[in-house]
Homo-oligomer: A and B are copies of this chain.
């Protein structure tokens, strides 16, 4: 009988790997570099080799592992394939099938933000919940929508692409996706920093952000915590954009809780407070008490969620 599952969160720079007990305890974790060269052809083999080396070192065999779950930074089809994954250099790849062929244990694959949502539901900020929306505010904005314990993947794998909800159709700058006015352009770490730089021109008061050569998202929240008025105005604008969008999401899938993760969430309670404030302004009367929580698994949410994928429905929530 298998004792372990593996979670592999595949990012553009590193692959995070975690070995979990069947009950979901993290037993070991490590990272390997993501070799994106030559269309990322080595990535899956590197993961398999690393897992086999781990087994070898621990005196374990394939039969001790129930499977491996993988998180991929892109849209994943129902059958575990991807049509393209720019960050990894991949075109069409049957990720799930290839890994099963190489590693010879059952494999699963899903979008990385979806996996992070699963992880937070299983062992993190939404533990015990079954209906939640995970919002990952990092370089971009990712989303994982979980209903009745299952991630909404959608008919083409675009389920939960909340970073690409159009919130400012009048925008003239383009999003990475090629469209204009996406949530990601305003509420990602990059978006917050960009708007803080751009807004300085028309700000008539003083602000310590004006003295910085380069403004980061962290600078904005740090200054806001110190009472810098310009930074506070930027945080309010962020809260309004995200709070209204999440109120609209609530009218669609009606979650028990929102979990906010990713780099921006490191600013802590200031983030959830301002988002919650505007959420309550725009939400339907019966939904104003929906909870807001910070993600607690941090960078490990992905490996937890990937492990959860590999456990399928055979585990208690």
Contact = CB atoms under 8 A, between A and B. Distances in A.
A-B complex: 3 closest residue pairs judged by Cβ atoms: A154-B254, A158-B254, A161-B251
Given A131-B154, A154-B131, A248-B166, A179 B254 contact: no
Contacts of A90: none
Interface string A285-298: 11100000000000
A90 B40 CA distance: 60
Given A131-B155, A160-B252, A166 B287 contact: no
Interface residues of A, number: 40
Interface string A242-253: 001001111111
Nearest to A154: B254
A159 B244 contact: no
B253 A286 contact: no
A143 B251 CA distance: 10
A312 interface: no
A218 to B, nearest CB: 28
Interface in A54-68: none
B75 A152 contact: no
A284 B177 contact: yes
Contact of A147 (B152, B164, B179, B248): B152
A205 interface: no
Contact of A177 (B83, B154, B179, B285): B285
A145 interface: yes
B253 A159 contact: yes
Given A177-B285, A178-B285, A162 B244 contact: no
Nearest to A148: B150
Contacts of A75: 286
